[in-house]
């Protein structure tokens, strides 16, 4: 199965359905986030799930443990393949989220958003560099019983070395020379996969292309053969 989950970031349900239908069979699944969920709610998610492809629900919950647990519980009927919470919510919140999720759902913790760099972290009072902070939050997520983390491709090799059976979600992925937009810690799909990503979340390079399927095919082709560095690893 393809490791690529296509981020369908739109408030428009029909456009989301069309995109999801067009990538079905080519991508590993689709990722729906805050933009889609705010406009369409759980019913919209179920309308996409009805197309019979794995749905990753990226709602990045971050609140007190009771509130997060109730929110996760309310999504049980949807049974998303993957669900996100923020690691910065702390151990009790992470444990509560995992306990409240459907058993088939992988609950993964967002560590440091791929749109942030070291100076952004320092400006919110985190003295560490992104890699150190990712490693710290990955350890917290693991010990709280989560299935894995979200991190950038720049940290995934180190995170996987410390947590070999973890599930590693890598967004901030761009084909060589692609438009970076608001992402700051960016790697190519090939690099992310070679370094240990379990799945790659890719949005605008596919959904913003004139021909999204051609863009997805090109990315998939770049993933077909391992680089010599990865073969040696």
Ligand X SMILES: O=c1ccn([C@@H]2O[C@H](COP(=O)(O)O)[C@@H](O)[C@H]2O)c(=O)[nH]1
Annotated binding site: 9, 31, 58-67, 114, 174, 183, 203-204
Per CB under 6 A, which of residues 124..183 are in contact with ligand X? 150, 171-172, 183
* Residues 68-87 contacting ligand X, CB under 6 A: none
Catalytic residue among 49, 60, 98, 160: 60
Please, what is the minimum distance in Å from the beta carbon of residue 125 to ligand X? Answer: 19
Q: Is the dihedral of CA 102, 104, 109, 113 positive or negative?
A: negative
Q: Minimal CB distance to ligand X: which residue?
A: 203
Which residues are annotated binding-site positions for substrate?
Answer: 9, 31, 58-67, 114, 174, 183, 203-204
36-44, 109-117, 124-132, 215-223 -> range binding ligand X (CB under 6 A): 109-117
Q: Which of 3, 28, 29, 33 binds ligand X (CB under 6 A)?
A: 33
Phi and psi at residue 164, to the nearest 5° = -60, -30
Q: Is 187 in the site for ligand X (CB under 6 A)?
A: no
Query: How is residue 76 annotated by DSSP?
Result: G
The residues that bridge with 199 in the sheet, in sequence order, are: 169
- Judging by beta carbons within 10 Å of its beta carbon (0-12, 13-18, 19+), is residue 55 exposed, middle or buried? buried
Q: Is position 60 annotated as part of the catalytic site? A: yes
Nearer to ligand X, 103 or 183 (CB): 183
| Interface residue with ligand X, options 3, 4, 7, 188 (CB under 6 A) | 7
Q: How far is CA 107 from the centre of its chain?
A: 11
Please identify, using beta-carbon distances, which residue of 75 and 231 lies nearer to ligand X.
75
Q: For residue 43, with 0-12 CB atoms within 10 Å meaning exposed, 13-18 middle and 19 or more buried, which class applies? A: exposed
Tokens at residue 93, please?
Answer: 């919140």
Q: How many CB atoms within 10 Å of residue 182?
A: 9
CA dihedral over 165, 229, 216, 117, signed as positive or negative: positive
How many residues contact ligand X, by CB under 6 A?
Answer: 15
| Binding site residues, ligand X, CB under 6 A | 7, 9, 33, 58, 110, 113-114, 150, 171-172, 183, 201-204
Residues involved in catalysis: 60
């Amino acid at each position: 199965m393809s490791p690529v989950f296509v981020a369908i970031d739109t408030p428009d349900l029909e456009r989301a359905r069309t995109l999801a239908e067009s990538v079905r069979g080519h991508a590993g699944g689709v990722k729906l986030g805050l933009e889609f969920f705010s406009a369409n709610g759980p019913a919209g998610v179920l309308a996409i799930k009805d197309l019979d492809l794995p749905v990753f629900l990226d709602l990045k919950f971050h609140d007190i443990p009771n509130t997060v647990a109730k929110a996760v519980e309310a999504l049980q009927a949807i049974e998303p393949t993957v669900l996100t919470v923020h690691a910065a919510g702390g151990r009790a919140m992470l444990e509560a989220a995992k306990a409240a999720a459907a058993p088939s759902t992988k609950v993964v913790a967002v560590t440091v958003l791929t749109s942030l760099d070291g100076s952004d972290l320092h400006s919110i009072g985190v003295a560490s560099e992104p890699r150190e902070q990712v490693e710290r939050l990955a350890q917290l997520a693991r010990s709280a019983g989560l299935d894995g983390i979200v991190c950038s491709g720049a940290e995934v090799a180190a995170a996987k070395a410390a947590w070999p059976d973890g599930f590693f979600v890598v967004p901030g992925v761009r084909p060589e020379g692609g438009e970076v937009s608001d992402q700051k810690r960016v790697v190519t799909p090939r690099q992310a996969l070679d370094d240990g990503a379990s799945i790659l979340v890719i949005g605008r390079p596919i959904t913003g292309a004139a021909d999204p399927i051609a863009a997805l095919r090109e990315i998939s082709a770049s993933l077909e053969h391992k680089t010599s560095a990865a073969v040696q690893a």
